[in-house]
């Protein structure tokens, strides 16, 4: 199991995870699995994986963006993962605060440390291998090793099938796709770039990311959207739903000047499917193929 301190994610921060781990023995609390577990999970990826391996009974609360599988919505939310409430977390009487480190504000984490709530920060799965390692780690943490192995075996088989199909796009045009993600804190649209899961899935689907940037997220303006001139726009669910329909999205400033906007090639996808790797990745790639290479165009 890999532990990371909170300072690993934001410079200058106290090593919260280590400090809390040291207080664990003094508090007499246990982070092992069992009926006594009360886990507040703040990570879309981790929480989905918990359900995949059958460890969901350990969860007592989630963050606002953890909405898959649908059953998780029945759990109380402690707020947006970057704008958490210490009171809400503490009220759940957790024996463990479980996260991938993408949490805040710092003051909330300091409060959790002061009251002695154990914190486990697990490195997120940013590649296929590390995502599957995350699944293995969670299996060990909650004594669901066999279930984790079974999920990973099926997941790998699905990826083998995807890679066999990827060869068909060799030598064919790769449409340029702009993935527009709505940033809930900044209340603005962001382009998903970099070499993360979304970009890789686009390649497997025979497409190219329209934004050539090493940054994971780039704030979009109407001018930049028009300049990128994507053939296709894929909007994540929150931002798409705020607008209401593909036709309305195509009329947005900047979008209306792109080939995607003019040809009404605007599609909706759930953000969890694109922003991290998981057992659903093979199905997500096939979903992308239907958007990028519709049957009539093949």
Helix, strand, or coil here: 199?
Answer: helix
DSSP states along 145-161: HHHHHHHHHHHHHHHHH
Answer yes or no: pTM beyond 0.85: no
**Which residue segments constitute the domains of the chain, with CATH numbers given?**
6-145 (3.40.50.1980), 170-297 (3.40.50.1980)
d(CA 145, CA 138): 8
Per-position pLDDT tens, the chain of length 298? 333 333 333 433 333 333 333 333 333 343 443 445 899 999 999 999 999 999 999 999 999 999 999 999 999 999 999 999 999 999 999 999 999 999 999 999 999 999 999 999 998 888 999 999 999 999 999 999 999 999 999 999 999 999 999 889 988 899 999 999 998 666 789 999 999 999 999 999 999 999 988 888 999 999 999 999 999 999 999 999 999 999 999 999 999 999 999 999 999 999 999 999 999 999 999 999 999 998 755 5
CB-CB neighbours of 223 under 10 Å = 11
Contact criterion met (CB below 8 Å) for 217 and 179: no
**Burial track 169-201 (b if 16+ CB lie within 10 A, e otherwise):** beeeebbbbbbbbbeeeeeebbbbbbebbbbbb
């Amino acid at each position: 199991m890999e532990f990371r301190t909170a300072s690993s994610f934001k410079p200058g921060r106290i090593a919260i995870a280590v400090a809390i781990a040291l207080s664990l023995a003094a508090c007499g609390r246990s982070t092992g699995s069992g009926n006594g577990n009360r886990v507040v999970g703040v990570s879309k990826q981790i929480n989905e994986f918990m359900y995949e391996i059958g460890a969901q009974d350990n969860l007592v609360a989630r963050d606002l963006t953890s909405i898959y599988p649908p059953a998780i919505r029945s759990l109380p939310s402690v707020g947006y993962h970057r704008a958490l409430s210490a009171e809400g977390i503490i009220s759940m009487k957790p024996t463990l605060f479980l996260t991938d480190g993408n949490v805040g504000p710092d003051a909330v984490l300091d409060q959790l440390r002061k009251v002695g709530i154990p914190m486990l920060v697990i490195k997120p799965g940013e590649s296929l291998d590390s995502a599957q390692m995350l699944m293995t780690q969670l299996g060990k943490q909650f004594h669901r090793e066999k279930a984790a192995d079974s999920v990973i075996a099926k997941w790998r088989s699905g990826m083998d099938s995807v890679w066999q199909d990827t060869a068909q796009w060799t030598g064919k045009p790769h449409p340029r796709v702009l993935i527009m993600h709505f940033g809930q804190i900044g209340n603005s649209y962001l382009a998903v770039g970099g070499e993360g899961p979304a970009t890789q899935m686009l390649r497997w689907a025979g497409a190219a990311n329209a934004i050539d940037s090493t940054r994971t997220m780039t704030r979009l303006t109407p001018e930049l959207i028009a300049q990128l001139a994507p053939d296709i726009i894929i909007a994540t669910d929150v931002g798409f739903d705020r607008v209401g329909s593909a036709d309305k999205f195509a009329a947005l400033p900047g979008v209306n000047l792109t080939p995607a906007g003019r040809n009404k090639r605007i599609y909706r996808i759930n953000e969890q499917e694109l922003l991290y790797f998981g057992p659903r990745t093979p199905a997500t790639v096939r979903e992308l193929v239907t958007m990028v290479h519709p049957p009539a165009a093949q």
